[in-house]
Amino acid sequence: MMMGAPMMDWGHMRGYYSNLTPEQLKQRQYMMEQYLPMQQMMMNHMMWHQQWMNPTPAPTK
C-alpha cells in the first residue's frame, strides 16, 4: 500500500454514481473509454523505456 495515499472507499463512490443522470453516466463511460487506452499506452511506453535503460544481462552458461 502506498504511504500517504488516501484510502479509496467504494461505498463513497457508489453514492456519487447513484446521483448521476443516465446521460452523465454515458458521458463518463465515453470519457473512460477514451482515457484508458491512452493510459495503457503510456504504461507500456514507460515499461519499454525502463527495459531499454536497464537491460537484463544475457544468461551465462
- CA dihedral of 48, 49, 50, 53, whole degrees rounded to 10: 120
Cell numbers 491512452: residue: 38
% of the chain at pLDDT higher than 90? 23
Residue 3 has pLDDT above 60, yes or no: no
- Give me 53's grid cell: 535503460
What is the mean predicted confidence (pLDDT) over 32-54? 90
pLDDT, mean of residues 20-45: 90
- Provide the pLDDT for residue 7: 58
